[in-house]
Chains A and B, each alone.
Chain A
């Protein structure tokens, strides 16, 4: 991981303290995830310079934005960021087009790497240019807000719960656009959210915040599988795997997905996709069962050889959580304590994981 975004922040409000040391990769999507009041939005606002942390050192791509030790604070309008607020916050007195070029006009010509047409096409808003913001739907407004931020050709794109103010269908309307940004742009994105499904779909790197402190920070595939974090105890605990599309069985409509850095495969019912494409799936802990031997007489398609990494009791005393390693890919299984004892589960044990369902994300 090339840590290109560094932020050491200390903020004290009346009844809240934030004390974090963030090291975020310079590419992909980093999610700041936590409950409301965990300090994730404050982190983002400090990065943008909208909030001035008492003690802060912020460095992005080798450029210092704030260094309280030297009394240095770069004002927000000089930071090369794009910021998407929870509510799109379009300027009501400007047309969509004038909203879009508001920031674009204010950066030097040679810095303009994203053009109006490109941004409109990415977000699907070309047909809205002449409209006024108050005639747009919530989803359209948020897409314009994202395009407007992109048009400043930012070095970092900051998003503060951009979907939280939208209802379910509007969320589903925008998520594919966010995935496109993730796939097509080189701009690192820092995404604040308290919604696990959004994080599972978008994030490459996960930072877990709790009461102003960083609880965990790491690649999402590893962080979600950690048994020492409260995430593993949740009902819908599970892991996210980004695999590589491989062969397709047309007769059975089965798609093979290669696990990263391994020859192991997951199979899921899906139409054919271009081989080599990346596909993200979620495997929930409750859908993984364990068996001492491979059982080819089972109806379960996905059976992988795994090694037990760790065990811990679940919130419910009848359950055990087991973290597993499938040739480099982390999995999580939730089994009954009874089964755990019957199988004699212990660290380092080799056994078979049977995966009942693999959910496609996105």
Chain B
């Protein structure tokens, strides 16, 4: 077996983190994307820019600010302590929070594009056919935006699997708690365990390629972002 227990633990942890992050992102990203796609408020620009920040910022910058905010003296840390949750830095929960922030644009933007592409008309048609706004969202918007949800899920999941900087900043390197695959590879390389690094890195490469292949194949000629 080329992968030892700590490698498998890291893979399992990564899978758990990416799944949970994707799920949370679909839940909170959907209303954000819906709002961004439909609002005429001046806040659309600023909020859209904030959501997109992780696309351009170095992960260490996001990780750094999250570490400060979630730490014992940060405003989020104060809040979690007041709620009796303690501080979440260097824990799996902290990792989830960091991943949600970091992968946000990869979920929100495909959803926003999908919602925009639907346009006003189907919603008006649904309204004239007696569908309330909620009814319309579930019976018309969700099915029409399905490709967007698939893209968003795949990108959100894959991007979380690939994160490193944010994890290291706010999660540290605790086996089975915060040591995800990317960190494990880093450890192997640091320890000159090139063979094990090869196996994990190779697995990541194949996984990423397959995910993107599935994504592009399903979009059939359309760019993945549309």
Contact = CB atoms under 8 A, between A and B. Distances in A.
Interface in A105-142: 106-107
A85 B129 CA distance: 12
Given A91-B140, A93-B144, A103 B129 contact: yes
13 contacts: A76-B124, A76-B127, A77-B129, A77-B132, A77-B133, A85-B121, A85-B124, A87-B121, A89-B121, A89-B125, A91-B126, A106-B131, A149-B129
A107 B130 contact: yes
Interface of B: 121-122, 124-133, 135-136, 139-140, 143-144, 146
Contacts of A49: 127
Contact of A92 (B126, B136, B144): B144
A82 B143 CA distance: 23
B130 A77 contact: yes
Nearest to B130: A106
Contacts, number: 61
Given A77-B132, A91-B144, A102-B131, 11 more contacts: A49-B127, A75-B132, A76-B127, A77-B133, A77-B135, A77-B136, A83-B125, A83-B128, A85-B125, A91-B126, A92-B144
Nearest to B136: A77
B130 A91 contact: no
Interface of A: 48-50, 75-78, 81-83, 85, 87, 89, 91-93, 102-103, 106-107, 148-149, 152
Nearest to A87: B121
A77 B144 contact: no
Given A89-B122, A91-B140, A93-B144, A50 B131 contact: no
B123 to A, nearest CB: 10
Contacts of A82: 128
A77 B126 CA distance: 8
A245 B136 CA distance: 48
Which 10 residue pairs spanning A and B have beta carbons closest together? A103-B129, A83-B128, A106-B130, A76-B127, A93-B143, A77-B127, A89-B125, A102-B129, A77-B130, A89-B121
B147 to A, nearest CB: 11
A152 B130 contact: yes
